[in-house]
Amino acid sequence: MIEVDSNHSSLVYRRALKFGMSKEFLKDYGEFLGTKKWKWVDDLTLTMSNGQRCFFTHGRSADILKVSQTMGMSACQGHYHTKLLISWWANPDNLFFAMNVGCLINQKSMAFNYAKNFKTRFVLGCGIIINGYPRLLPMVLDNKGDWIKTLV
């Protein structure tokens, strides 16, 4: 398993370093989480089954289209809790996608207290890529903010 590092997974490290803990005393993510076989990377570029490359990052910019165009390949990211979208762009050689996959979090949890007065609701969902083509799987919530247990 390869995991893309995020502001969430690095929070403990950033706090420890901020308050003077030496990096040598900290366990790596895999050891800390009990997942020693998982590899953590800043970003990831994979070759898809259609031979094109795709760049994966936790969240580089609110505009994933710009990330994709800057990298010169398709791109996927999360982090932006209200964004579930696919944009397309092309050059004379190829067609590319830029996908924001929403999030999988409970906006009512204590971790997201900072968002309790937001007027927008987080968009839960996943993104998948089949044969080099992206697809979004929105997870529809009821009026209480609970998932209706159906993928559309």
42 is a contact residue toward Fe ion (CB under 5 A): no
Among 73, 75, 79, 97, binds Fe ion (CB under 5 A): 79
83 is a contact residue toward Fe ion (CB under 5 A): no
Pairwise CA distance, residues 65 & 128, whole Å: 17
7 is a contact residue toward Fe ion (CB under 5 A): yes
Least distance (Å) from Fe ion to the CB of residue 81? 8
CA distances from 126 to 46, 84, 119, 123 (A): 18, 8, 22, 10
94 is a contact residue toward Fe ion (CB under 5 A): no
Residue among 26, 29, 23, 24 at smallest CA distance from 10: 29
Residue of closest CB approach to Fe ion: 79
Contact set with Fe ion (CB under 5 A): 6-7, 79
